[in-house]
Amino acid sequence: MTDLSDLVETPDAEREPQTGNGQPVAAGVPSDGTVTAVRDVPHMKWWGWGVPGVAFHHEDKPGFAPFVIKAVGLDLHAVSPLDPPSFEGIDVPASRDDGRVRAAAAEIVGADAVTDDALARVVHTYGKSLRDLVRIRAGVLPRTPDLVVYPGTEDEVQALVAALVGLDAVLIPFGGGSNIAGSLEPDPTETRVVVSVDLGRLDRLIDIDEASGLARIQAGALGPVLEAQLNERGWTIGHFPDSFTHSTLGGWVATRSSGMQSDKYGDIADIARGMRVARPNGLLDVKAYPSASTGPSVRELILGSEGRLGVITEVTVQVHRVPAKRVIHAYFFPNWTAGLAAMQAIAASDTHPTVTRVSDARETGFSLATAKESKGLSGLAQKGLMAFLKRRGWDLDELCLSFIGYEGEPDHVARQRKAVERIVKRHGGIGVGTGPGVLYDQKKFDTPYLRDFLLDRGTAGDVSETAAPWSKLRAVYDRAIAAAEEAYASLGRQGWIMAHLSHSYHGGACLYFTFAFVFGDDPVGEYDVVKTAVQQAFADAGGSLSHHHGVGLEHAAWMPDAVSAEGVGMLQGVFAATDPGGNLNPAKIVP
């Protein structure tokens, strides 16, 4: 196995000097675009992903600009990026609270944990989808929360829910704000007072039952915060979604999140064993049993409920000891068909690697284009490998890159790897060592910064993901690619779509698509054409409407395809019975 550390990279985000954005700012708004923290709760920048001073850069990646002009027709050398937007130019609707809701909330959490600050309300209006970012940068704010409240204890959350529903206010739970399915935004026609309940202060590891590997963790804990607390005691949750650095445990549960290592640890639906949920009439406590025969699963109802059944305050999760060894190896397959077949065979083999991921040729080309220039021996090794593959008869335009991860005791990792690599070899694959895997591991959470980079240059970039049985997976892939290309043609746009397989199961796998195009005068309308085409392709070809991003408003139209009209009616009945006043994040999932 050749070790080529500089062969491929995932898009990296690099720190810039913390000098501000050079734009006028509103009074009380820091020049770096962050929100002044209430009770030390951090937030992402209001107009984009992540933290100020961090951004994607392409200048040290010689293949990136040529790739972009070929893919979407954007000449990075000919276009100047937009300056970060100025909050001073945003017209924020006035809070509709007449003082009654604020007074009730302040009595419970304290006056300094309730705010109607304009910037705080804007930050809590949207998530971070392409639709969200286009609108927020343009100042399109038909409805913002009227108040943002930061409870500090479960008792305060419970009291807030009871009191504010009693005042007929609307409550929208808020974790890290990373959602891309429209799960956070208020209904623009809502006339009642809308309150964003920010769980950021509930971020503690409460307890670990070490005999059972069960950890009680407050729902507002961000990924790095909860993982650091677990690691200090020798444990890991094993759940690492792309949004890990800016999403919370409660948000993962509320949207049925999946992580990069779900092949071993499971999705959050497998990891979350119990939860506590604040509801208007009391606290719902779902106990963390190994298994139970207790009728329809209340636990399953809370998973994916997006705040419509209450505010999640605490989750009991299955945790695991930090593994003695963890390594990710990179492999090449001669084509997409071979890569898919290998992933299916690995899933059927019960070898249980932590990561099984393979990119199609389009995404592999993108990954190679984001590599920094290879020099010296590594550059020679890269050229030598490509020459070797050509001599073997490989079409380098069909090349597919794969990452497979292994964890556990060293001898266990060795056995896993040996068994997996027999399967890889049987499907024509070749190993290229741990170097690319190290880079992937280091930069796996940086990809969302690329969306801001493109948006600054008039280009839409976003994602759609689905899950399908192995028997339908290729048909779903082919239909989604064709649908996107048909949508680009209808718009008269040059566009790009690429995909990777991740999250393998015995019965099937997740396909994760990324699409991009240079937009015109109607970015949201054009985005809708492409997004709708891809989503409809999933439904038509037998894929799920989403694998781990949730439903929200973005995907609600496809719920009848996913669960049938009768299923939608059942969900409407549940929401109507458990929230008769429509106070808990109304209109999400189903109207």
Q: Does residue 477 carry a catalytic annotation?
A: no
Find out whether 554 and 131 touch, Cβ atoms under 8 Å. Answer: yes
Looking at residue 54, what DSSP letter applies?
E
Half-sphere exposure of 94 (CA within 13 A, CB side): 4
Alpha carbons 89 and 523: distance in angstroms, whole number: 20
Q: Which of 215, 216, 411 is nearest to 320 (CA)?
A: 215
Looking at residue 308, what DSSP letter applies?
T
Q: Which of 308, 304, 357, 345 is nearest to 545 (CA)?
A: 304
Marked catalytic residue, from 150, 331, 512, 527: 512
Two tokens, residue 573: 């009945």
Give the distance between the most distant pair of CA atoms in the chain: 76
Alpha carbons 64 and 11: distance in angstroms, whole number: 10
- Exposed / middle / buried, residue 424 (Cβ in 10 Å: 0-12, 13-18, 19+): buried
Neighbours of 317 (CB within 10 A): 28
CB under 8 Å to 521, separation ≥6 — which residues?
none
Alpha carbons 373 and 334: distance in angstroms, whole number: 24
Alpha carbons 418 and 403: distance in angstroms, whole number: 15
> Each residue of 478-505: b (16+ CB within 10 Å) or e?
ebbbebbbebbeebebbbbbbbbbbbbe
Q: Which of 169, 119, 168 is nearest to 139 (CA)?
A: 119
What's the one-letter identity of residue 203? Answer: D
List of E strands, 311-426: 311-318, 320-321, 325-333, 355-359, 400-408
Q: Transcribe 151-203 into DSSP letters.
A: --SHHHHHHHHHHHHHTT-EEEEESSS---SS-SPPPTT--S-EEEEE-TT--
Two tokens, residue 530: 């492409």
Find out whether 493 and 454 touch, Cβ atoms under 8 Å. Answer: no
Torsional sign, CA 64, 70, 73, 77: positive
- Exposed / middle / buried, residue 588 (Cβ in 10 Å: 0-12, 13-18, 19+): buried
Integer-rounded Cα radius of gyration of the chain? 24
Two tokens, residue 529: 């054409």
CA distances from 225 to 245, 262, 547, 564 (A): 9, 20, 25, 39
Q: Which residues are catalytic?
A: 512
